[in-house]
Amino acid sequence: MDELNSPDDFALVVVDPQAGLGFAVQSIDRQQLLNNLVATVETAQTFNVPTIVSTSATKVYSGPPFPAIRELLPDVPVYDRHSMNLWEDDAARQAVIATGKRKLLFAGMLTEACVSFPVLCTLAAGYKVFVVADACGGVTVDSHRYALDRMSAKGAEMTSWMQVLLEFQRDWTRKATYDRARGLIERFGGGYGMGLKYARDMLARP
């Protein structure tokens, strides 16, 4: 049995990618978090993974989605909620169900509430759930970790945006996604991306 994941089985749920909540994040550098969120969304686009975006308290506290996220998903509906738990919001829950996918990736803010609550609920509903931990932000380092631990104890698997991308790509001879996947690593992959870009530039030299 192949234990690696296929993008065909997944939907991505992006929870509350909003500046008002980003101000509260202390578990990760805020710009790094935004970069990781963008990388996660672009990874989903690269592999045709349907994406659900939900926000909360848009007009009273949290504000609109980050422009960098909205620009990537201009035609994707944004489900604004009153509840912290998107699984308790009829429109957001039905949007997830309508994808027909039984494996879910979650990313967003805040880890302690608006991420962990729907993760726990979708696990209870029988979904296989993966949390893109480096694309989630918590109020403190400790509370972020405790939330990840709680989700993990209930069956969620922790991953990173880089692992998602590499697992979906798996073989660099897959030309349909090669250029965009490699480009994401070069842009957001730190030293690994720097190395890939260096190798490409060196090979291109006469």
Catalytic residues: 114
In this structure, is residue 181 part of a structural domain? Answer: no
In this structure, is residue 19 part of a structural domain? Answer: yes
| Tokens describing residue 198 | 């260096």
Q: Residue 122 belongs to what domain range?
A: 7-169
In this structure, is residue 149 part of a structural domain? Answer: yes
In this structure, is residue 52 part of a structural domain? Answer: yes
The number of domains in the chain is: 1
Instruction: Write the pLDDT tens digit of every residue in 75-106.
Output: 999 999 999 999 999 999 999 999 999 999 99
In this structure, is residue 186 part of a structural domain? Answer: no
**Which segments of the chain have a pLDDT < 70?**
1-2, 206
Beta bridge partners of 107: 14
143: domain CATH number? 3.40.50.850
In this structure, is residue 199 part of a structural domain? Answer: no
163 phi and psi angles, rounded to 5 deg: -65, -40
Torsion of CA 122, 123, 126, 128, to 10 degrees: 100
Query: pTM for this one?
Result: 0.94
In this structure, is residue 198 part of a structural domain? Answer: no
In this structure, is residue 122 part of a structural domain? Answer: yes
Instruction: Write the pLDDT tens digit of every residue in 173-194.
Output: 999 999 999 999 999 998 988 8
The pLDDT score that the predictor gives to residue 1 is 46
